[in-house]
Structure 1
């Protein structure tokens, strides 16, 4: 299936974690906080929630701890409209990931607890139970590859998605604390990249896979010329370079008064994909994804900060426009 036609089905199967987020009130350091706001987190779950809030369909494949925190996460997935038919409780000592972070930029701290993570218990049998024919595309965040048995399950999901004619959309999402070593991460993420049709990552992540940040853009270009159809190389405040069919699109960002640095990448992915699904061209979809990222960093939380369609439209109407790029 042609990749844009597949994405236009606006129905996604998403691999990866859901966790609990605890975030302090705006401007308050964690050590000074007396109360925290609780909501859903985890890059894959955030992407799925962002898609659902923007009118798409998304189901998550993962495992959650068989306890109150796991039930909290499932309840939040359902609240945001994410399909939970492939979310499996995991007994024993496995626990959902927990992120404690601040709603501030200066001195921002995000403290992540990932020991014995339940999502890493996802198995090959879990993904083999998925009916891939019901979806238009597979989305995977890089953390799903960081440990076994989740790594093998994710690669099996790639094989099954490919056999079912689904394009593979890969968010590099490199988190060093989840991996046994940088070398393992470089090898595994590079392998996943060569199997993907759409690859999205920032300059640090592409540089990591290439062995040097200076070589990151060249690697993005190489992937676009050899295996992937679309590669988005994000550069923070400097915008993005998108490689597609031998061409390069350069897009800027929407500047806002940010209150935190987290959640932007997940929101970008959701906005980008649902914009293609809604019939926008590649350039417009990239800008709408950037607008979604800007909206999220301007509000507390991650999943709760992601926009609904009317919020995105209002933002685009009222904002003077993205930064110019050379």
Structure 2
């Protein structure tokens, strides 16, 4: 593949919203809630390829609607080029409803009448975009309409003219060819000579053809697999790959032998099937990771089979795709038959598919509740004013940050909801508390069923939980708090929220250079892997080195640590930055009362207006931001001295 190419792969065709039933083991009729993912075979493959390290892009159409924007935003989060994702103002983004009934039954309904991606046409194919890739992938489903067939043919012709390779995923869905009732979306095979004839028209352009045995049958025009492969070989010199589910796959770089096992056999992996939907797209992504990088055919088959095995064990298609780190971990280790019970693999999947990068993070923390109620009592202000003041937090952050990365805010749902709602349109990190203020043992402010509460939170809200927790607490207190934290950790993984655990140990006992590290290790030993830690300021470099060592030993994928303020005076807090800044895992701070206490008191008592409060908050916040930046810069300078 030419080294100068911008992309290694462009996939072409379906791009939709998958609405996956969350209730498992019942009829689609009885499912009551659905998880929303991006979907469509070429879209899934583009995501899977990107997660495996290939530079991928997508050519499709989406509606000028909320779902179309979600597809574009999610592709960007996944690292997939959206240069070819075109907006169609006349049509809606396609939908698919899917369910998991049992290991053999996966009902699905396609809502694709006059949808955006099926309106793709030859004029949408930009020659420069296609020419920027080392390979293009087309899907059989998209060849069912003349306009899309022409678009795919043009893309293939351009690719071949530019020395790129053409990949054909047979991807046969009879319902999308009008060959079954609309409620038979899971049906995988209906023989049809017209479909065979149309699909075969692209064969001379192909360098790689991949399909299940049923898909090979429709392409070859016979239900005898070997005969079908030979019929395909007569029309194409492409590498042929036949997917065989748990048996793995067989590849045929040349003549097709008398038996399938006489080809290049890629052994499958024995795992429990939870959801077959999306496995083929993962297989394709894995195979392309090897084939496009010119690795041995056996390696490409191994990647493909492993990716398929991983995805059949999970809910969803695109979100289940493994990353390169995860794939290597799978191939190098031994795993339970019920793969989704592999805690280590699931942790790697979680940690390596989180979106957003936070090399540094400075947060205005205004999630306090009891403190604001006390301020109202002190000033005689109506507590109904608290939400109005908290809404100013976002304006203060934005005044300082101006949309720049590395800034965030912490707001609560009780008094800070208006600010949380407004933050949805901003690029900032958002944290939100779940704990009942001041509780020890830890209690949650919401329903005791914390997962039910979190299911109502937007996906980008990081769940923050403060625990007054000391490793030398009495056993009964410590165990009660650990049970609550473990419940919360489990809930956040099920709802897909990141978790920030804030530990304040100093209220419960004396602390030394090992105390916080010991507390963290206890939680790690319980199986917790918080995405973030929020810890007390400390001027001991030894304490921070111990914290760093605990994180490195237990969770090298941890997002990092932010400092809390504990109402410390500004100069004391700034002084504490020096020790913390010496440790790379500390990314910044999340400070509140040091910044807002004076402004809030004066605003609640009517001494200043909104503008003055915003300006004062932004100024005080900027002092700490600049001080943290200087502390980090000083550490860098000392390392190079």
**TM-based fold match above 0.5:** yes
Residues 10-159 of structure 1 mapped to structure 2, 5 A cutoff: 11-25=8-22, 27-29=24-26, 30-92=28-90, 94-103=91-100, 104-159=102-157
| 3-state SS of paired residue (1:84) | strand
2:29 counterpart SS class: helix
1:303 to 318, 328, 342: 318
Name the structure 2 match of 1:324.
Answer: none
Q: Which structure is higher in RCO with an 8 Å CA cutoff and minimum separation 6?
A: 1
Paired position in structure 2 for 1:250: 265
- Give the count of matched residue pairs: 316
2:226 matched residue in structure 1: 217
2:242 to 214, 223, 233: 233
- Partners of 1:319 and 1:226 in 2: how far apart? 42
Q: Aligned partners of 1:193, 1:83: CA distance in 2, in Å?
A: 27
User: What is the CA deviation profile of residues 137-189 of structure 1, one whole-angstrom value per residue up to 9, with x for unaligned ones?
Assistant: 11111112111311111111111111111111100001112225634321111
Which stretches in structure 2 are left out of the alignment for 5+ residues?
A: 180-191, 257-262, 337-641
Q: Is the 8 A contact 1:62 1:119 kept in 2?
A: yes
Contact map agreement 2:15 2:43 (CA 8 A) in 1: yes
TM-score with structure 1 setting the length:
0.89
- Give the TM-score taking structure 2 as reference length: 0.47
Instruction: Flag structure 1 segments of 5+ consecutive residues without an equivalent.
Output: 322-326
Deviates more, 1:97-106 or 1:216-225: 216-225
After TM superposition, give the deviation of residue 226 of structure 1 in Å. Answer: 5.3
More divergent stretch after superposition (98-107 vs 294-303): 98-107
- Which structure 1 residue ranges, 4+ long, deviate > 6 Å from structure 2? 6-10
In the alignment, does 2:214 pair up with 1:204? yes
User: Hey, what's the Cα distance between the residues in 1 that align with 2:149 and 2:72?
Assistant: 22
Distance apart, 1:220 and its partner CA: 2.0
Separation in structure 2 between the aligned mates of residue 277 and residue 39 of structure 1, nearest angstrom: 27
Partner of 1:194: 204
Deviation at 1:73, TM superposition (A): 1.5
- CA offsets, 1:179-204, max 9 Å, x none? 25634321111112232110001111
Q: Which deviates the most, 187-196 or 295-304?
A: 187-196
Give the aligned CA root-mean-square deviation in angstroms.
2.4
More strand per residue: 1
3-state secondary structure, aligned to 2:269: coil
| Partner deviation per Cα, 1:100-149 (whole Å, 9 max, x = no partner) | 11234254312222211211111111114443332111111111211131
Whether the 8 Å contact between 1:39 and 1:303 is mirrored in structure 2 is yes
